[in-house]
Structure 1
Amino acid sequence: MAADSFSEISSNSWFSRIASSFKGILTGILLIIVSIVLLSWNEGRAVKRYKTLKEGAGAVVSIDSAQVDPSREGQLVHTSGTAVTTDTPSDSEFGISTHALKLTRQVEMYQWKESKSKDTQKKLGGSTETVTTYKYTKEWNTRPVRSDNFQELEGHRNPAEMRFTNSSFKASPVTVGGFTLTPSQVDMIGGAQALPFPSDYKVPSHIGESHLSPTELYIGKDPANPAIGDLKVSFAMVPEQSISLVAAQVQDSFQPYRTKVGGTINLLQSGTYSADAMIQVAQDNNKIMTWALRAGGLLLMFIGFNLLMGPLSVLADVVPFIGNIVGIGTAIVAMMLTAIAGLITIAVAWIVFRPVLAISLLLISGGVIYMIFKQAKSAKA
């Protein structure tokens, strides 16, 4: 991996920092509003998904995939079987084909990548000096990296686009017993395996100069010394396999099942699983997504409160040591405010769905507020 770098030094006066910090207040308010909307929406989404899956668990019936039972039309059904196809998906551009459920082309291009780091030092009087270091590395990437906005474009230009890109070729039809899967359901089937090039494979003439190995086609002059714009192409396939599915039976196929609460169920897993096991996995995934979005919303809220109090630490930066102390203090306050506002937002969002949990969260928030005021009174005493 090749790399080079350069640094820039910039200064920011105390007055310009104060102006920027006051502008940051508007950004902080916007982030807090966005976080409140995100947290509220996430709680509603989580409850809706939970109720959707719970309703599905009570309505699903297991069927034999060998033949279609018209009496199950429109019902939420569970079935297991082997996904097979008579098709041979192919990539005509490279002349590769295989008997499989899916064929995927994976392309990487050798490119420049810019990364930067900043080291800011506070000066007496409130000004700052920032050293920004830009580092350029050559890396393989599956997507084009735009070099137009590089700080140092000279010597670090990337091709505007890739000659060949990632592609997927699905078999059609793909069946499980007497049923035919939709293209979106075929996409849900995993278990991709590397597909070697045939021993008698001949590289198409339009590819240009290239070097072939059993599992990879290198497009360029020298694989040992890659140049910017060189490509690596490989293939993978998803073989015929056992799958389990929970969805609505629609004629001889499956569609997402719509529940009374307005959610949909369209589950597919590789392997043989019961309906209960599949719905439990979906519930677990719902919990993971819920906590991930909660963490993201609370982080946005913390950043927002920190920006609101940004002017305080900048004003104190006339003496850097004092400014650092004030900055730590405002971060702690922002964390407390985030805990209070976040819990209240989540509680209010859950009042309609789970009043007991909502009231519990409100009581916790009230306890946090009480502890803050009690601590403040102790400090004054």
Structure 2
Amino acid sequence: MREHTTVKTEPKAGFLERLSDTAGGMGIGLITFCLSFYLLFTNEGRAVQTAASLEEGLSVVFTIGNIQRVDPMNEAKLVHVSGVLQTSAPLFDPNYGVSVSCVKLKRQVEMYQWVEHEESKDYEENGEKKTETRYTYNTEWRSEVVSSRHFDREIAHRNPSAMAVESFTAVASDVQVGGYYLSKGLVEKIDNFKQLSLTQKGNPQADVITEGNYFYHSANHRNPEVGDLRISFWYAGVSMGNSFGSVDMASVIARQRGVELVPYKTKSGDQLELLYIGSHTAEEIFHAEHQSNVMKTWMLRGAGWFMMFMGISLMMKIFYTLVDWFPIVRDLVNLGLKLFALCLSSSLSLLTIAAGWFFYRPLLSLLLSTVAIGIIFLARSRVPSKKHQ
């Protein structure tokens, strides 16, 4: 590991300059504040629509027992099938002699490169603003080319501009479960990648060394140099015809169209096209989708609230800038602004969520609105009570 430290000195910003920076931050805060309303409101509609589509799907799905024979009577119906994966031919990489009967075969190429890490800290000294930055340089295996042109010190830390071998992912052209062919969207959901063991493989090329689960383009793979390559292979969706491991099963819920399984459009407007690796009942799949929908909904709610909090904080920062010359007042104002942003963002987030639910569940909407307004009144009631004490 190599490292060095630099110190950058700037004159301390004047009041007008800080005020100008604050004004720019207020503009960004306003945009963030407005976007948070859009995210929170649309997220509630999306969550309800997805839940309704899943409930509709569970009520009409039909489980097929004999998947080897496609029954025309199920045409255009939402069907549930489970069975082993099948592909028409193994996937093959001729450059390294790797062949696997699977849905996806990924060749991952990594290059030994210099990587720059930096840590900065700001402080004031003699009325000047200083930034101390510590740069460290390590050699690491990376799957993407790390550009050294923007390193603080490019000399002695130069990386190649490209890799001699490229990564790629091969996908089987025809994937079946029983007598049904899977659509492109269903095939994309097969991503249970596992690393292929290369211990039984010989050296595929004169300049390639096989060690463990990697092929190395290196004179000494135990002591690699910058620019050396190592290649690993990953496979997903093991299909019939493999000599290693067990064949993967897949459980699919989709619309039958001839011998294909394609997306099913619900009355709510969503597309149902579900695939899970393993043997699962229709009820288990829909239960997992409901849980995923709930988790996604709460994550977006949290993101929307955080955007609103940051937006309000940036818009109110001007009050902090006006008093930042007086340390005690500055700290009190900073604390007060954060509490104000916290209360206001929480209340407005709840009101926005309530508005999103109003069209679907009015009673829940009114309950959330009451809680949101209660937060505002509680925050305001604390001030006169302290004065009274």
- TM-score, length of structure 1 as denominator length: 0.90
Return the match for 1:234 from 232, 235, 249: 232
Does structure 2 retain, via aligned residues, the 8 Å contact 1:123–1:320?
no
1:97 maps to 99
Return the match for 2:341 from 326, 334, 355: 334
1:13 maps to 13
Does structure 1 retain, via aligned residues, the 8 Å contact 2:103–2:175?
yes
The alpha-carbon distance between structure 1 residues 182 and 220, as it changes in their structure 2 partners (threshold 3 A), is: same
Could you give the per-residue CA deviations for residues 92-146 of structure 1, whole angstroms, max 9, x where no partner exists?
A: 3433222223222122222333333332336798x75433334433322222233
2:259 maps to 252
The alpha-carbon distance between structure 1 residues 130 and 112, as it changes in their structure 2 partners (threshold 3 A), is: same
Return the match for 2:82 from 80, 83, 90: 80
Superposition pairs for residues 200-349 of structure 1, below 5 Å? 201-204=202-205, 209-238=207-236, 239-240=238-239, 241-349=248-356
Instruction: Write the distance in 1 (CA, Å) between the matches of 2:179 and 2:318.
Output: 68
Does structure 2 retain, via aligned residues, the 8 Å contact 1:5–1:136?
no
2:120 maps to 118
Instruction: Write the distance in 2 (CA, Å) between the matches of 1:129 and 1:378.
Output: 45
Which letter maps to 1:121? Y
Which letter maps to 1:81? G
Deviation (angstroms), 1:380: 4.2
Which letter maps to 2:162? E
1:180 maps to 181
The alpha-carbon distance between structure 1 residues 374 and 277, as it changes in their structure 2 partners (threshold 3 A), is: same
Could you give the per-residue CA deviations for residues 283-333 of structure 1, whole angstroms, max 9, x where no partner exists?
A: 111111111111112111111111112222233221334423322222222
The alpha-carbon distance between structure 1 residues 157 and 377, as it changes in their structure 2 partners (threshold 3 A), is: farther
The alpha-carbon distance between structure 1 residues 22 and 151, as it changes in their structure 2 partners (threshold 3 A), is: farther
Q: Percent identity?
A: 31
Deviation (angstroms), 1:87: 0.6
1:131 maps to 132
SS at match of 1:119: strand
Does structure 1 retain, via aligned residues, the 8 Å contact 2:159–2:226?
yes
Deviation (angstroms), 1:356: 1.7
Instruction: Write the distance in 2 (CA, Å) between the matches of 1:320 and 1:147.
Output: 42
Is 1:167 the counterpart of 2:165 in the alignment? Answer: no
SS at match of 1:163: coil
Which letter maps to 2:174? P
Aligned length: 376
SS at match of 2:314: helix
- RMSD of equivalent CA atoms: 2.3
Instruction: Write the distance in 2 (CA, Å) between the matches of 1:72 and 1:110.
Output: 54
Could you give the per-residue CA deviations for residues 205-264 of structure 1, whole angstroms, max 9, x where no partner exists?
A: 6xxx43221410122333233333322211122312211111111110111110011001
Deviation (angstroms), 1:27: 0.7
Does structure 1 retain, via aligned residues, the 8 Å contact 2:344–2:376?
no
Does structure 1 retain, via aligned residues, the 8 Å contact 2:3–2:134?
no
The alpha-carbon distance between structure 1 residues 309 and 114, as it changes in their structure 2 partners (threshold 3 A), is: farther
Is 1:35 the counterpart of 2:33 in the alignment? Answer: no
Instruction: Write the distance in 2 (CA, Å) between the matches of 1:154 and 1:122.
Output: 31
Could you give the per-residue CA deviations for residues 175-224 of structure 1, whole angstroms, max 9, x where no partner exists?
A: 2111112343233224433223374534346xxx4322141012233323
Instruction: Write the distance in 1 (CA, Å) between the matches of 2:21 and 2:56.
Output: 52
Instruction: Write the distance in 2 (CA, Å) between the matches of 1:78 and 1:169.
Output: 27
Instruction: Write the distance in 2 (CA, Å) between the matches of 1:321 and 1:299.
Output: 28
Does structure 1 retain, via aligned residues, the 8 Å contact 2:68–2:179?
yes
Deviation (angstroms), 1:25: 0.5
- TM-score, length of structure 2 as denominator length: 0.89
Moved more, 101-110 or 49-58: 101-110
Instruction: Write the distance in 2 (CA, Å) between the matches of 1:293 and 1:37.
Output: 11
Does structure 2 retain, via aligned residues, the 8 Å contact 1:340–1:368?
yes
2:142 maps to 141
